Every structure is written in C-alpha cells, then in structure tokens.
Structure 1
C-alpha cells in the first residue's frame, strides 16, 4: 500500500499540469487533447483519470483508520485528545508552511499579471478558514476557489472525516456494516449538494468496507485462494479499463444507446452521463478491489520491502501540499523573466518539476515535518498527563 501513497501525489501533478494553460490563469478553454500536455499520447489515461487519485487517498485513509484506530477508540484505549493530537500533528505542519508560502507568492503573481494563479479568494476570511483547516466545511464563498493552497481542500475534508470516524467508533458502530453502507449511500446525497465533502465521506467509508472484507478474509484458512481470486479479479478489471480507454468500445456503445433512449439530450449530455458512470465504476469497484488486492497480497505473500518506496510514501503529504506552491513559484519565475509559458509544454520541464518537487518534499518531511511532529506530540502528551498527575 506504500506504492499507492508514493505514486499518487506524482499523478496528481499530472492532473494539475493543465493549470499552466488556463486563460488568465482562471478558465480552461480547451480539451486536454488539444493542450499539448507533456507526453500526453503516452500518459493520456493518467491525465484524464488522475482526479480519481484523491478518491484513492480517502479510500486508503478509511482502510488504515479502521484497521489501526477503530478498536482502540471503541475500547477507550485511545482518547479523543490523543487521537486529535496525532492526526493534527500529521496534517498541520506542512499545511501551515505551504499556506504561509502562498500568502507570500500569490500577491507576487497578482502584481505581475493583475490576477492570482488558479486559486482565488485569497483574503483574510479564507486565510482564517485555512488556518483552522476548515476551508472546505461550507464556510467558504466558493468551494472550488476556497483560497491559497487549493489542493489542501482534501486535508480539510480529512479533518472532518476524523471527527465522523471517531464518533462512529466511540458509539461502537464501527463493526456495523449496515451503518457503514448507510453512510456510503448518504454520501451520494451529500456529494450532490456539496461535492468535496461527499466525495471524502463516500471513499473513506468504502475504505472501511474494504477493511472489513480484508479482516474477514485474513481469518480464513483458505486466505491464499481468496487472495488469488481477488488478484485475478483486479487484473481483469484493469485489463477491461485499459482496453476501454484504448479502444472506447463501451463509450461508443453507450453513445448509441443514449441517443436511442435519450434522443432529446445532446451529445455533450450523453458524454457527461458516460463520464459520470465511468467515474463511479472506478471509485466503487476498481479502486476498492485494487486496494483489497494489495492488502491481501501483502498479507499472503509479504511486502515489496522497497525502502525507497517507503521513503517516498512517508513524504507523500509534503509532495501533495507542496506541488501547488511550486507551480505558483514556477509561474512567477517564467513571467518575471519574460519566458513564454510554452515552456510548460516541454517534457523536460515536467521532469525538471519532479526533480525539484521530490527532493524538496523529502527534505521538508524529514527535516521539518517529522521534527515538528515529534515536538508537538511530546508537548501535547505532557499536557495531557498533567491533570492525571494532579488527580493522583
């Protein structure tokens, strides 16, 4: 599963590379096929489906939290204070650092170009929302333009998920599959009203269901057979998906059927319906089965034991939150020196971006994030023990 954490942020960069081609750094007036993105003919699927990577993050979080925390919270072994301390110190140091960096960088972009880069609403109100990591809780003016480090929306939703998760475990409902399925279905309604929160809840609690399936399978004497079946299913699903992406046989068939049964709708609506169905298919079946396959394979056959992969996985949060400030910095450098933004069409530019992002993320993780985490956790643990000592 470290493979997912290591590679996912790198794919997110591909999803956001299109930002360099937005008109006035605000609107995209062309399809991805016409943007001349680096290596697009070879990485088209990653460019188009990479937004679903965030779902994979939430799915993985749900799996790990139910595996590691649920019983400890239900048995009162882990208190709300300790849980919050460890989760806060995981997310906040890098979030705060990138927030302050963008407080400095976005005004520079504005002075150069008369507008911000991609993310707007960089005002005092949205700064406060970001400061408390609640910028995606409905208090912002526009969800998609909630200020400063736009990708940090998922970290904000993650905090909300922590609270829902803790309450569920505290009430000892974490093993109730009916409740969890109900939450997943309810998330579809929430997503219609507020997409970001609904997306997080849906995938997080799908991850919980994947954990329960994994936990059931891990106790069986025929675990190896179950693992092999799941591996085979995952391979078939990916072959089907890759074939569909290459040859579009499902899309072409769906367009014919939609034209027949929904003749009043135009081709744009038909395409949108198909894309929604495809995304639901990925989120609800391919992502969960892939995660289950990896968890079972690691349990049955052992992990890959790749230290460099674990190192990258540990710095995944830094990579995810740092890539947008680095994009803003890139725009400042290019615009300040009068270099054409056509430079972002270059494969070399993309590779150079990765060459800067990955080492920077490793440095931030090991020399800033981890030391700050340790200091805050040590201080928080001492504070938590003081009332107990006084009572004793």
Structure 2
C-alpha cells in the first residue's frame, strides 16, 4: 500500500469539529449587554442543530484524539529514535500555533479593555488582568483559574502540555507499545477526576495513539479490506443513534434507572468509543482508496482560524451592540447566524492564507538562516 503523507478525512473531521464548537458557543450571543440564555430552543435552526447546541462542547474530544493519532503517526518514531530533534519539533509547533494565538490574544485584550473602560464587564470571560495576560501570552492559559481572554483557546493550552508529555513519552518508551498507551488513557481517567480539562486531553491524545497503532498494524491485512465498508457503515449508524440519544436520551435514561449516572456513562462511551472508532474508520476508509475526502480537506486547513477567531468576532459584535447602538435582534436571528458564519469563514480563509502560512514560513526560514550563520560564520 502506498505510504500516505496526509489523511484528508481527518483534516475534514477536525474542521467539522471546529464548526461544531462554534455552534455551541453561539450561546454567547445571548449574553451581550448582560443578557442570559434561558431557553436553548430560541437559537436559530434549533430543530436542525440541537445536538450541537446541546453537546457541541464534546467536539473538543475530536481535537485531542485526532492530534494523538497524527502526532504518533508523524512524529512518534522520529522523536523516539532521535532522528527528529526536539528543537525542530517545537519550532514546527511554535511557528504553526503562536502567530495567530498572539494576534487574536491582542485583539481580544484590546476589545475587552475598551469595554471595561466604558463601564462594562468583560464579555463572557473575566479575569482580564495583566498577570493573566502574561500567562496567556506564554501559552500557559491552562494555569489561569477559569477561562480568560480568548477563552475557547483553553484546549490549545492543554495541547501544549500534551506535547510536553508526548515528547517525554516517546523518549522514555517505545511509541508503538500498546500497553503503555492504554495505561496513559487510564491515567487520563484518573487525572480527569481533579483536573477535568487536562484529563480530557490526556484521554483523547493517547487514545489517538492507540487508534494509530491499530490502524498501522491492521490496514495492510488482506482480511481488513473486506471490513472497510461495513466498519464505515457501522460508524455512520452509531452516529445516527447518537443523534437519537441527543434528542431523547434512551440509553442514559435506562442507565439512570439502574441507579447509576447515565449521562456520565454515555459521555464516556462517546469519548472512549465513538470518537476513536470514527477516527479509525475514517483513516482506514481513506487508506483503502477513498478519494472524495480530498475535496473536504480544505475545511481542515481552516480549523485553527475558525477556533481562534470565532470569539474575537463575537466580542467585536458585542462591542458594536453595547457601544455603537447596533440592534441585537437581527444578529440573533437566523439571518444573523448565517451572516456570522459567512464572515467567520471569510476571516478564516484570509487568516490561513495571509497570516498563518506566511508567518509559519517566515519563522522557520529565519531560524534556519540563523542556524546556517552559526554553523558557517564565513
């Protein structure tokens, strides 16, 4: 089988997960001017989008699991065998993540300070202080109590911590050993009891490592080719059931009738079952020749921009309403919802083309040029 360099299906899944989180955060639009969302059903297109309005926050599990899969795939052996230095690894991560992180952090800080200077509270996320700004600036926002500044970016702060754990893991253990990977998932379950966000990250990331190992070991087996379509069909069927569960809760209600916390178990089944299965099914489906995923991969390119720009855009709208007298009702309407996503996608495309990629290239070229100058001063 031809060695793959990119799985477009996983890129598409990452982009769709980002859009799901944005829909979940649409509730912020009802907090403008001190408002409150008391009835989720008033949100635009609720009958169609209710799973995302109710449970869109769970899409973050996809970020962690997809990251684990991709990092064990692309970097695991290289870091373990030291054919990839940690300096190059962190340069790649810094150049990809930091430029847009810095820009959106500054935008959010300026908008929040402007609101606060006019006598308003900070919008949605509090803790707009210099110490918290410094921690956010250093990608240490996980260590700030509560979410601050560009609040949805908390998961990126967790990702940075996961990269540290990943580097230690690959240097101390063999990344293809299944038992330690499963052990790390169990550790994540334990951590989640006291550090909910970090525990979720550890569970998802190392579950992604398990999925990668399963895919690597099984994808070339002849008998596996016969299971690709049935497995993909099963995954789709389970997602259809997940929609039923989101609307009517038959499984969680049944579990609750047994005297256990039904919703918690359903959430864990999603986190440890459906998400890893979906990543495995997508990777297997594409590696066995499915080509149409390539048409959807541009959605994945916009993931980071969608995720980092959606709250600054909401904050800008809130500022226009509170300070500029812009009417709120049209913004909360179905047309306003569509317009918001259209603007967000346009900003994300521009951000990817004119900020993220150029900044990434510039940083890497500058560091490479400096290394050459040090190695060969003449």
8 Å contact 1:15–1:50 — kept in the other structure? yes
The match for 1:265 is none
Work out the CA distance in 2 between the residues paired with 1:372 and 1:207.
29
Tell me which residue corresponds to 2:25. 16
Change (3 A) 1:37 1:113: farther
Contact 1:112 1:335 in 2 (8 A): no
Kindly report the root-mean-square deviation, in angstroms, between the aligned alpha carbons of the 2 structures.
2.1
Q: Deviations over 1:292-317 (max 9, x none)?
A: 1110000113231544x333311210
Whole-angstrom CA distance in 2 between matches of 1:198 and 1:354 = 31
- C-alpha separation in 2, matches of 1:56 and 1:305: 17
2:132 pairs, out of 121, 126, 129, with 126
Q: Which residue of 87, 92, 111 maps to 2:93? A: 87
Tell me the secondary structure at the aligned position of residue 219 of structure 1: coil
1:274 aligns with 2:283: no
Structure 2-normalised TM-score? 0.91
The correspondence for 2:278, drawn from 279, 290, 294, is 290
Change (3 A) 1:295 1:25: farther
Is the contact made by 1:82 and 1:381 (CA closer than 8 Å) also made in structure 2?
Answer: no
Count how many residue pairs are aligned between Structure 1 and Structure 2.
369
Q: TM-score, normalised by structure 1?
A: 0.88
Gaps of 5+ in 2: 1-9
- What does residue 150 of structure 2 align with? 149
Q: Is contact 2:80–2:170 with CA below 8 Å preserved after alignment? A: yes
User: CA separation of 1:352/1:29 partners in 2, compared to 1, >3 Å: closer, same or farther?
Assistant: closer
Matched, 1:96 2:102: yes
Q: Deviations over 1:111-153 (max 9, x none)?
A: 44520001111111111111110110x3x2x1x33x2111111
Q: Deviations over 1:145-184 (max 9, x none)?
A: 3x21111111111111111111111224212211111111
1:366 aligned onto 2:367: no
Partner of 1:184: 185
Is contact 1:85–1:377 with CA below 8 Å preserved after alignment?
A: yes
Match of 1:49 in 2: 55
Q: 2:70 aligns with which of 64, 68, 78?
A: 64
Q: Does 1:354 align with 2:354?
A: no
Contact 1:318 1:364 in 2 (8 A): yes
Q: CA deviation at 1:25?
A: 4.6
**Cα displacement (A) at 1:68:** 0.6
Q: Is 1:330 matched up with 2:317?
A: yes
Aligned runs of 1:218-297 on 2, under 5 Å? 218-258=219-259, 273-297=261-285
Q: Which moved more, 1:341-350 or 1:380-389?
A: 380-389
Q: Which residue of 1 aligns with 2:6?
A: none
State the SS of the aligned residue for 1:108.
helix
SS of match in other structure, 1:192: coil
Q: 1:189 to 1:255 in 2, by over 3 A?
A: closer
Asked if structure 1 preserves the Cα contact closer than 8 Å seen for 2:24 and 2:56, the reply is yes
Decide whether the 8 Å contact of 1:319 with 1:357 is kept in 2: yes
- Looking at structure 1, the residues matched to 215 and 243 of structure 2 have their Cα atoms a distance apart, in angstroms, of 26
Deviation at 1:386, TM superposition (A): 4.9
| Equivalence for 1:32 | 40
